[in-house]
Structure 1
Amino acid sequence: MGPVRNLLLVMAACSALVAALPGQGFAAELLMLEQKGCAWCVRWHKEIGEIYPKTAEAKIAPLRQVDIHEPWPGDLAAIRREAFTPTFVLVEDGREIARMRGYSGDEFFWFLLDEMLAKLP
């Protein structure tokens, strides 16, 4: 029974590791589509960027920054690119749940983000 038990333990550890990898579509994530020179992106980073990882929202949907001018990540093939930045896209299991275009301040951002997160299954 020892080798079978060891195999099961290894399989469980591998499953946990794969599920924890970013961008693998196993959990929700908040994409921030941005580009160099975007003043509103800079403002978001100043007002929200340092706070976001410490919030309950980040535990539900960790932030993933994507430059719209860089090669598009393969795991985001089903997610439509955006020309307007910043754009925030809530993704779960590789599919778009909700999208927020622009940033007009912290209070409005948190309100809209809560609406987006409420759409998660």
Structure 2
Amino acid sequence: MPTIFRVILSAVLMLSPAVASRAGLDTEATGNPDRTFELIVVEADGCIYCEIFRRDVLPAYQTSEQGKKMPIRFVDVNDVETGRLDFNTSVDIVPTFVVVKSQHEVGRISGYVGPENFFHTINYLLGSAP
């Protein structure tokens, strides 16, 4: 029975209309010089996990202590090269969450990991940053 439920759920998700992604909304924005840390979310149009992050994690992040210490900026994966971003490696998976300090990458989360793991990893990256 659970297998049938998963198949039906997958079919419904695949057939549901895609919500227009807001990827690239902040591509013109530059890093905030008043703050040391910034969280850059690299996403793509049509990325279902990007939408799930925005729906399930973003509201909690924006009101959290981490969100107050580290403002968030969204960048389209196609604009990463032109965005003057100093990443250690290329972005191959979306969404990718890159923690930057003074415009240099400190660490990243590649892919959607769910709310609990996301917050644990963000805490670790903030705590281990030089």
TM-score normalised to structure 2 length: 0.68
Please give the alpha-carbon distance, in whole angstroms, between the structure 2 residues aligned to 1:35 and 1:107. Answer: 23
Structure 2 gaps, min length 5: 1-28
Identity of aligned residues (%): 28
Among residues 92, 97, 119, which one is paired with 1:88 in the alignment? 97
Q: Conserved in 2, the CA contact under 8 Å of 1:98 and 1:119?
A: no
Match of 2:83 in 1: 73
Structure 1 gaps, min length 5: 1-20
Match of 1:23 in 2: 31
Please give the alpha-carbon distance, in whole angstroms, between the structure 2 residues aligned to 1:99 and 1:119. Answer: 12
Match of 1:59 in 2: 68
Q: CA deviation at 1:49?
A: 1.5
Aligned alpha-carbon RMSD (Å) = 1.9
SS at 2:78's partner residue?
Answer: coil
**Structure 1 runs (4+) greater than 3 angstroms displaced:** none
TM-score normalised to structure 1 length: 0.73
Q: Choose 1 or 2 for highest CA Rg.
A: 1
* Structure 1 position 100 matched with structure 2 position 86: no
What is the count of residue pairs matched by the alignment? 99
Higher helix share: 1
